[in-house]
Amino acid sequence: MTVIDRILAVFDEHGRGAHFGENVTETEHALQCAHMAATAGADDALVAAALLHDVGHLLHGLPEDIAERGTDGRHEVGGAAWLAGSFGPAVVAPVRLHVAAKRYLCAVEPAYHGAMSAASQRSLLLQGGPMSPAEMRLFVAEPWFRSPAGLKAGLWSPTELAVDPRQVIAALPAWLAKTHGVEFAFGTPVLGFDGSTVTTPDGGVPVKRLVICTGADFRDLAPAAFAASGLYPCKLQMMRSQAFGDRFRVGTHSAAGLTLRHYASFKTCPTLPALARRLDAEMPEYGRYGIHVLVSQNAAGELTLGDTHEYGDAITPFDNPRLDDLVLDYLKTFLAVPDPRVAERWHGVYVRHPTAAYVAARPAENTLAVTGVGGAGMTLSFGLAEKTISDFLGEAP
């Protein structure tokens, strides 16, 4: 007897009974759920899980009014165990978790509870009621967690653009050389400068004007100019997923609620203080490490995932795996990535100013030093470079 035969036999024998106080039979309920999953675009495994999620009810042989008698048949556990002999975790885990998902939904979405049938509300109480915040944190960390609440609302920008820095940085020097005649001296550290010469290990290079952009290394070449600037370093931990190719396309760059707190552009939102208070109460670690989650996907289908923020003296050379876990846990609350295996991890440091978008100084005659562009430096750089150079040369941009 194949597994399909066994499933059909179980539904044939027990599926005609009423579905635990509802106006549909067990079989009708199973087919409705599978149909809704298919209509919502779920993959085959999830459609199968939807079809079979209550199979435990058909197996345990308890009467259909057990909830009224105050008994929880733990049908999700029995059903998952029965299926585990024939199906993989993509089918078994959603079956095992579907009661937990209902308890989670009732906690995050009070309106959902109100929309449930009286029978389902009764069984919810026997199943433990809506989840507590502690239970929710554990549930969200489940490897199979997909936000059952789904995406509720979003902002979408038609002008959003992402570039793969590895691609751009590889191509940009050749373009600059060809288009603007820029000469590069890669691998040449600058050791010092005065108004007319740049010193390198290979000797002095005469200059008429000099622009210094040493990023986070600003203290090395022009320490006095930036001594009282208020600039401070910021370390970010980042991750990249496996390359999904065309098997999984996110379709857009994504971010969620934590990002609203991260960028100053959202400061005008009137409800932001209330959101920040709630996040601080429910997810204090996220605030402490400046974690918000941005997801972007490149042509190979790799997801770049970030980011965390550690500032000033708190920065060490060692990465904190807990921060990566927090990013991955939060990702799960708004994006269902089929197998978010991390292929690469790295960290970077940029330098920023508490209030200014960048900091410029004049450390010597004919010399301009610019740094402190912070976390938006790549985005700002083209416009900023044009403006600062034009100002420096005394020309209109």
Ligand X SMILES: Cc1cc2nc3c(=O)[nH]c(=O)nc-3n(C[C@H](O)[C@H](O)[C@H](O)COP(=O)(O)OP(=O)(O)OC[C@H]3O[C@@H](n4cnc5c(N)ncnc54)[C@H](O)[C@@H]3O)c2cc1C
Q: Which residues sit at the interface with ligand X, rule CB under 6 A?
A: 189-190, 213-217, 220-221, 236, 238, 348-350, 371, 373-379
Output 86 or 252, the one with its CB closest to ligand X.
252
Reduced to 3 states, what is the DSSP secondary structure of residue 362?
coil
Residue closer to ligand X, measured from CB, 105 or 234:
234
CB of 334 to ligand X, least distance (A): 18
Identity of the residue, 27 or 214, whose beta carbon is nearer to ligand X in the bound complex = 214
Cβ-based nearer residue to ligand X, 139 or 392:
392
Joined tokens for residue 176: 């600059």
Q: How far is the CB of 342 from ligand X (least distance, A)?
A: 15
Q: How far is the CB of 185 from ligand X (least distance, A)?
A: 9
108 vs 250, beta carbon nearer ligand X: 250
3-state secondary structure of 285: helix
To 10 degrees, the CA torsion angle through 179, 181, 184, 190? -130
Q: How far apart are CA 205 and CA 197, in angstroms?
A: 5
Q: Which residue is nearest to ligand X (CB)?
A: 377
C-alpha 47/C-alpha 36 separation (Å) is 8
d(CA 64, CA 29): 14
Q: In what order do the strands lie in the sheet with 367-371?
A: 210-212, 367-371, 359-361
Given the complex with ligand X, which of 225 and 373 has the nearer CB atom? 373
Q: C-alpha distances in angstroms, 289 versus 48, 97, 374? A: 40, 31, 16
Sole residue written with tokens 């998952």: 80
Q: How far is the CB of 241 from ligand X (least distance, A)?
A: 16
Instruction: Give least dist CB 129 to ligand X, A.
Output: 42
Q: Report d(CA 308, CA 305) in Å as an integer.
A: 10
Q: How far is CA 122 from the centre of its chain?
A: 36
We find the least distance from the C-beta atom of residue 354 to ligand X, in angstroms, to be: 15
- Shortest distance, CB of residue 375 to ligand X, whole angstroms? 5
Residue 343 tokens read as: 């292929």
Which CB atom, from 11 or from 330, has the smaller least distance to ligand X? 330
The residues, ordered by sequence, that sit 6+ positions from 378 with a Cβ below 8 Å of its Cβ are 165
Determine which helix (DSSP H) or strand (DSSP E) holds 198, and give its type and residue range.
strand 197-200
